[in-house]
Amino acid sequence: MVSAAPSQITSPATLSALRLIARLDIKGANLIKGIHLEGLRVVGDPQIHAAKYYEDGADEIIYIDTVASLYGRNNLVDVVSRATEHVFVPITVGGGIRSVEDARTLLRAGADKVAINTAAIKEPKLIRQLSDVWGSSTIVLSIEAKKTGNAKWEAYTDNGRERTGLDVVQWAETGAKLGAGEIFITSVDQEGTKKGFDCELVAGITRNVDIPVIASGGFGALEHLTQLMNVAKPTGVAIADSLHYNRFSLDQIRSFCAVNGISTRNYKSAEKINS
C-alpha cells in the first residue's frame, strides 16, 4: 500500500517551515559519499543511518541510487521496503526511474515520492504522466547543476557526469509547468565541499517557480543556513556529509535555526538542547 504523499500528511501551519532532510546516496548495498558527486567512499549501512536520522528528528529521508544509470534501473526497492519498518517520515527515492511502472514499484515498496532526472530530460512528458497518475505532490524533479557563467547553470545527468545543454532555471520552470510538485536542486560544484550552498542558484529557482524547492550540496557550517535563507527561500535543505560524519546533529541544526529566526518543523529537539 502506497503511503500518503507529504502534502497529505503535513498541516498548513508547517508548510512554511524549513524541512531538515537527510540525504543518503546509495551504491549497491552501501551508503556512500563523495565530492562533486565523484570519488565515492563507503560510509556504512544505509539502514542504520536512516533509522538514526529518523530517531534524531529528520523531517524526511531522500535516497539516491548513484549507479542507477549504469544498470538502467533503480536498485533501491529492498532498501526502501526495509527502511519503512523503522522510518516513519516521508521517503523520497531517486535514480533510474524511467517509467510509470518504475515509479509504481518504488511507491509500492513504501516510498512517498519519486525523484526523476535523466528520464525527465529525455522525455519531459514523463513528468506529466507521473503527475496524472499519483498527483504532483508525489513527483520531484531532481536537477544536478553546474555553474557555467554569471547567474548561469547547466543541468547535468548521470550523477553530474553528462551535459544536457539545458539552462537550470528554465528547466525548473518547465518541470513545474509539466506537473512536478517539488524541485530537488543539487549544486555539483558545492556538493561535498562543506563550503556552503550555491545560494544564487537556489534563489534563481525559488524566484521563478511556485512549488517547494529543496537545496542540496555544500552544507558544512551552521552559518551556511542563514546565508542561504537570507538570499533564497527554499522549503527544505538536504544534508549528507555533516550527518554521516557527525559534524552536526539535527538537534544542533534545529537549535541554531531557532536562535536565528529560521522556522523548522519541530522545535522539540531544539528546546531540549536549550533546557
**What is the 3 state secondary structure string of the chain?**
CCCCCHHHHCCHHHCCCEEEEEEEEEECCEEEEEECCEEEEEEECHHHHHHHHHHHCCCEEEEEECCHHHHCCCCCHHHHHHHCCCCCCCEEEECCCCCHHHHHHHHHHCCCEEEECHHHHHCCHHHHHHHHHHCHHHEEEEEEEEEEECCEEEEEECCCCEEEEEEHHHHHHHHHHHCCCEEEEEECCCCCCCCCCCHHHHHHHHCCCCCCEEEECCCCCCHHHHHHHHHCCCCEEEECHHHHCCCCCHHHHHHHHHHCCCCECCCHHHHHHHC
- Exactly one of 25, 60, 65, 112 is catalytic; name it: 25
Cβ contact 91:112 at 8 Å? yes
CB 209 within 8 A of CB 201: no
Active site residue 38: no
**Can you tell me the distance from the alpha carbon of 184 to that of 182, in angstroms, rounded to the nearest whole number?**
7
Q: 113 and 76 in contact (C-beta within 8 Å)?
A: no
- Active-site residue flag, 144: yes
Separation CA 45–CA 43 (nearest Å) = 7
Contact 192, 241 (CB under 8 A): yes
Check 112, 144, 182, 191 and give the catalytic one. Answer: 144
Which positions are catalytic?
25, 144
